[in-house]
A = this chain, B = another copy of it.
Amino acid sequence: MEKNILLKIQYDGTNFRGWQRQPGQRTVQGEIEHVLQYLAGREISINGTSRTDRGVHALGQCASFVWDFPLPTEKLPFILNKRFGAGGIGRSGAPGDIRILEAREMPPDFHARFSCRGKTYRYIIERSGDIFRRNMAFQLADSLDHAAMREGAKFIVGTHDFKSFEASGGNPRETTVRTISDLTIEEEGDRTVIEVTGDGFLYNMVRIMVGTLVEVGTGKRTPDQIRCILDGRDRQLAGFTAPPQGLYLKEIYFK
C-alpha cells in the first residue's frame, strides 16, 4: 500500500551544493534520494519544501515522498540517520551532515511544497571572527545599531510587493506580493539573531532583507529608506545579499 511520508530534516549546508538534485553534485536532495533508493531498490523522488542555496543550513527543512516499501515509518529516521552517519553508505563518505528528525505518514493529498502555508528563517550575524564558526554565521566586525534595524524592520512586516528584495535567477513567480507576519532582531552577546516569518519568500529574499537591515544597522541607510525600497520595486534599490552561511531554514508550517 502506498504511503505519503513527510520527513523533517536538519542539515549543515556547508558541504552541499544546496538542496536541489543536480547531476554530479553533492546536494541534500540527492543524498536523501540516494539512501531511499538504496533501501527501496528503486528510484525515489522527494519533494522538498524549500530549495535552499549552497551553504544555507536547515534546522527544520521538510520533504515528502510516496513509496510502498514495507518499512515502519517511525523507524525511518533511525535507519536513514545510520546511513548518513560515519560509516554509512552515503555517496560522499557520509560525514553526518544530514539528520532526519522525524518521519510521519500524511494524507494522500499532502505535498511538502504545495501544502506549505509559511516558514520561519533565522539569520545569524557574529562580530567575532572565530574560525570555528566561519561556516555557521555571517562574521561582521562592525557594530550594529539594533534599534535602527528594528525601526527599519517595521516597514517590512505586513503584506507588500517584495520585488526589490528578489534576486534574479529564481523560478518565475505569479506575483511578488508576500506577507511577512513577524521579523525579530535579538542581540545575544556579540551575536545578532534575525528571525523572519512569512507565507512565502522570493529568491534570496531573506538574504537581501538582512543585507539591507545590516546597512541600516551600520548607518549606511536610514530605517525609513526601507519604505522607499519597497515602493521602488527594483532590486538595485535594496542592500547587498548577505552571505549564505548565516542563514538557517528554521521551521515550516503546513495547512
Residues of chain A whose beta carbon lies under 8 Å from any beta carbon of chain B: 10-12, 57, 95-99, 129, 131-132, 134, 136
Contacts and interface: CB of A to CB of B under 8 A. Distances in A.
A186 to B, nearest CB: 19
A132 B96 contact: no
Copies of chain A in the complex: 2
Contacts of A10: 131
B97 A11 contact: no
Contacts of A97: 131, 134
B96 A11 contact: no
Given A98-B131, A99-B131, 13 more contacts: A10-B131, A11-B131, A12-B131, A12-B132, A12-B134, A57-B132, A95-B134, A96-B131, A96-B134, A97-B131, A97-B134, A99-B129, A132-B136
A131 B10 CA distance: 8
A131 B12 CA distance: 7
Q: Which of A10, A129, A132, A136: most chain B CB closer than 10 A?
A: A132
A227 B180 CA distance: 63
Contacts of A12: 131-132, 134
Contacts of A134: 12, 95-97
